[in-house]
Structure 1
Amino acid sequence: MPAFSDYVIYVDESGDHDLTSVAQSYPIFVLAFCIFRKADYIRNVVPQIQEFKFRWFGHDNVILHEHEIRKQKPPFKFLQNEERRKLFMQELTQILERCQTTVIASVIDKSRLARRYAEPDNPYHIAMQFCMERTHRFLTEQGQAGRATTIMFEKRGEKEDAKLELEFRRIKDGANFGGTAMADLDIRLVDKRANSSGLQIADLFARPIGIKTLRPEQPNRAYDIIAMKFRRSATGEIRGYGLKLFP
């Protein structure tokens, strides 16, 4: 039986990786890795998310998707009521504040990338490499070297999933900045319908990171919560450790 690590990782993105038509309103691609200690995830994170869903929907067959919450689309149309929206967001914010996770994220400025490189790589692949490199270092720091850690990605389509898995394994085998083999990292592609609490938290975290990058002066309560969870250097530095901006 393989030795599994004490951690599990959930990944989601914000924005798209298309470089041919860059939306000026959101010209970036964000990839967020949420690293959970399994004991915390099982005992605290999942039960709180489940309790929240039962309280607000009467069942747990609902996915907390940032876009649908923000746009107040079904099943979140009730958020059009200001009083209910305020209470809902207050409770969800408290859960995310209590959520014990370490965040490693990468933000790719697609416009700058296209200008700087004649043949730029896929922003998703660039962001994934940055996140995998820092995640591998984090796990090593936590004494998990040589122990299998699963990184969970949401499925996006057969062709895209195949490309993603191929790139993941290429980076894992040493196609990264340090030429480091990351044999202890493994990938699992998960259908959105699996209703994973970890994937939903990663989804809720990705866009606020992007908005903070685009509009740093704008009040951003969600980002303030995430900022406390970024991987940091020994001196408390986030940039380059828990957050990579490129180029």
Structure 2
Amino acid sequence: MNFVPPTSRYRLYFDETGNGDLDAAEKHPNERYLSITGVVVKQDTHDGYLTRRMNRLKEDIFGAQEVVLHRRDIMRSEGDFVALRNVERRQEFDWRMSSIIAECLIAAFTISIDKLEHKQRYKVWRYSPYHYLLECLLERFVLWLRRNNFQGDMLGEARNPRHDKQLRRAFTYFYKHKTGMVDSQMIQARLTSKDLRLLPKEKNIAGLQIADLLAHPCHRSLKFEQLGEAIGPDHGTYLVGLLRRYWYDRNPNSGVISGYGTKWLP
């Protein structure tokens, strides 16, 4: 693959909510689902404009650009985020994050799986739910790249050596083989690397933090839609509304998001 400069490279930053343990889905209702969300940003936009805006936001609200945004701690207003206990600070933070997401993303995808249904349906096939989601996410990213005549790569958060090794192996397998939706020639023409990049949270990557903030509300919205239940209004619901309005990939002819920007499994 020839070098693709940042001005022409589109990077998918992804994060998950839940875990890949199939057995836990039967024992604990709160562990029934696993979901992965990816957001696409043009690399030069990410490394320049988007990162500068995130740094200004952190400096203004938390007093330090080195703060790494993590949704769970933000929701609890704990640790570095105690400033969010102030209502006005919280409103300013939410508004400015919404503006960044509305202005800087290019595309978004959310794939969720009901692990319990997956296990009950497939008595023999035990494909790792996490790797299954990763493959579905990659398929949609490659198809989006092809449709727009773009090239790109992916970046996720490093977890632990065992998890990261398995994830990199699954990515490399995808890169070399066809799937139900894309063949290896298309994959290799659109992805700029056969290797998956994973960086630790401490690297303070803006795109990974946005994926972290969106992963849970995106899954929650997709789950409630699948169950036919109403979801209450909050900031997470508002952010998902932005993705549905602007960034979730969709059928270019019908405008339908399901199957393109979102996918429910199995």
Same fold (TM over 0.5): yes
Paired residues, number: 244
Q: Could you say what secondary structure the match of 1:44 adopts?
A: helix
Secondary structure of the structure 2 residue equivalent to 1:241: coil
Higher helix fraction (1 or 2): 2
Q: Which residue does 2:251 correspond to in 1?
A: 233
2:92 aligns with 87
Residues 8-23 of structure 1 correspond to what in structure 2 (within 5 A)?
A: 8-22=11-25, 23=28
> Following TM superposition, by how much is the alpha carbon of 1:18 offset from its aligned partner in structure 2, in angstroms?
1.1
Q: CA deviation at 1:43?
A: 4.1
CA RMSD across the alignment: 1.8
Alpha carbons 2:18, 2:35 under 8 Å: kept? yes
Aligned to 2:61: 56
Tell me if 1:199 matches 2:204: no
Matching of residues 102-117 of structure 1 within 5 Å: 102-117=107-122
Please list every run of 5 or more consecutive structure 1 residues that lacks an aligned counterpart in the other structure. none
Runs of 4 or more, structure 1, over 6 Å off, are none
1:156-183 per-residue CA deviation (whole Å, 9 max, x = no partner) reads: 1001111111111111111521461122
Counterpart CA distance in 2 for 1:85 and 1:35 is 26
1:96-245 alignment to 2 at 5 Å? 96-118=101-123, 119-144=125-150, 147=151, 149-178=152-181, 180-181=183-184, 182-183=187-188, 184-185=190-191, 186=193, 187-216=196-225, 217-218=230-231, 219=233, 220-228=237-245, 229-234=247-252, 235-245=254-264
How far did 1:221 drift? 1.4
Identity of aligned residues (%): 26
After TM superposition, the structure 1 stretch with the greater mean CA deviation from structure 2, 217-226 or 237-246, is 217-226
2:265 counterpart residue number: 246
| Matches of 1:57 and 1:179, distance apart in 2 | 44
- Deviation string for 1:135-194 (max 9, x for gaps)? 1111112213xx5x3211111100111111111111111152146112242311111111
- What SS is found at the alignment partner of 1:232? coil
Distance 1:44 1:244 in 2: 30
TM-score by length of 2: 0.85
> What stretches of structure 2 of length at least 5 have no aligned partner?
none
